[in-house]
């Protein structure tokens, strides 16, 4: 069985569509756990209405210490052998959960399985397509610009027992908690990339993650986290990985600056009078 866990706080705008996306999976072996942080809006009112009709739905509502704390509560309540996290404003592609169950039947315990993910903007336009096919520990340490990390938990699933080996989500980490978890998970789990679209991530302006990256703090925080894990490598591997990280990311940043410069020139030329 899959335990889909949704941490939420004041999510009345999206919670109903979140509940419906799990129902529409038509998966018989699923439970949906809503872990609410004591919302002051209609979130729990909506959840209660659905819980009366759908026995696969369970919920709690109480104050917590942030998203990681809510996620850990969900893990402790989960009855399924497989865990997936679905944020209130994200959704699955059709038949994702049934596909996941079939794939996990063939895998050793613990396994970590990652699909692809659409990333949408506020207006419903596709911003990018996340295809994280290289998921080795050292590859991920080169950074998401070089080897894309799984961008959203709507596209990955793992054995619940994985937490017995690597522990829970860090309650003191409020921004890079998913990257920190992935870096721990890939070191001990059987990792598999499935080249199918499973998740849909709404990258909404004003949310915690988007604001953090727009401020520049997200990039700095990610770099510091990668360095923390890189420093745990054996000396020779650490030196090689650090050098490769520096060279590849310097080249990437230079390319991005060049593209932005070309873009500015093109825009400036477009406003000049035609000869």
User: How does pLDDT run across 205-235, given as a tens digit for each residue?
Assistant: 777 777 766 777 878 888 999 999 999 999 9
Confidence of residue 121 (pLDDT cuts 50, 70, 90): very high
Query: Residue 273: its pLDDT value, please?
Result: 52
> Which pLDDT tens digit goes with each residue over 6-48?
999 999 999 999 999 999 999 999 999 999 999 999 999 999 9
Indicate the SS3 state at residue 195: strand
What residues contact residue 205 under an 8 Å CB cut-off, 6+ apart? 122
Average pLDDT over residues 92-116: 98
Indicate the CATH number of 2-232 among 3.90.550.10, 1.10.260.40, 3.30.750.210, 3.60.15.10. 3.90.550.10
**What residue spans define the domains of the chain?**
2-232
> Token match 């003191």: residue?
172
What residues contact residue 203 under an 8 Å CB cut-off, 6+ apart? 119, 120, 121, 127, 209, 210
First and final C-alpha spacing in the chain: 68
Indicate the SS3 state at residue 101: helix
For the beta carbon of residue 233, count every other beta carbon within 10 angstroms. Answer: 16
Q: Of 198, 200, 207, 149, nearest to 174 (Cα)?
A: 207
What pTM was computed for the model?
Answer: 0.90
> Which pLDDT tens digit goes with each residue over 126-176?
999 999 999 999 999 999 999 999 999 999 999 999 999 999 999 988 788
Query: Residue 275: its pLDDT value, please?
Result: 46
> Which pLDDT tens digit goes with each residue over 226-268?
999 999 999 999 999 999 999 999 999 898 887 877 766 656 6
> Which tops the pLDDT comparison, 257 or 60?
60
> Which pLDDT tens digit goes with each residue over 66-84?
999 999 999 999 999 999 9
Query: Residue 217: its pLDDT value, please?
Result: 81
Rg (CA), the chain: 20
């Amino acid at each position: 069985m899959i335990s889909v866990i949704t941490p939420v706080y004041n999510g009345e705008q999206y919670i109903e569509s979140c509940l419906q996306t799990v129902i529409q999976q038509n998966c018989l072996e699923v439970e949906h756990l809503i872990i609410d942080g004591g919302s002051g809006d209609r979130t729990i009112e909506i959840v209660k209405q659905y819980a009366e009709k759908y026995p696969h739905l369970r919920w709690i509502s109480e104050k917590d210490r942030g998203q990681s704390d809510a996620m850990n509560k969900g893990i402790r309540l989960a009855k399924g052998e497989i865990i997936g996290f679905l944020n209130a404003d994200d959704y699955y592609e059709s038949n994702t959960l049934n596909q996941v169950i079939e794939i996990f039947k063939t895998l050793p315990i613990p396994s970590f399985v990652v699909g692809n993910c659409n990333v949408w903007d506020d207006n419903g336009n596709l911003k990018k397509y996340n295809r994280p096919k290289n998921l080795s520990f050292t590859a991920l340490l080169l950074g998401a610009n070089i080897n894309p990390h799984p961008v959203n938990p709507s596209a990955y699933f793992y054995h619940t027992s994985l937490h017995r080996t690597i522990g829970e989500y860090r309650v003191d980490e409020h921004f890079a908690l998913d990257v920190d978890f992935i870096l721990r998970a890939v070191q001990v789990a059987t990792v598999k990339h499935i080249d199918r679209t499973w998740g849909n991530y709404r990258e909404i302006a004003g949310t915690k993650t988007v604001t953090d990256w727009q401020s520049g703090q997200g990039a700095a925080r990610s770099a510091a986290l990668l360095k923390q894990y890189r420093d745990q490598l054996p000396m020779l591997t650490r030196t090689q990985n650090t050098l490769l990280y520096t060279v590849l990311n310097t080249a990437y940043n230079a390319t991005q600056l060049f593209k932005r410069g070309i873009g500015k020139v093109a825009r400036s030329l477009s406003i000049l009078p035609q000869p």
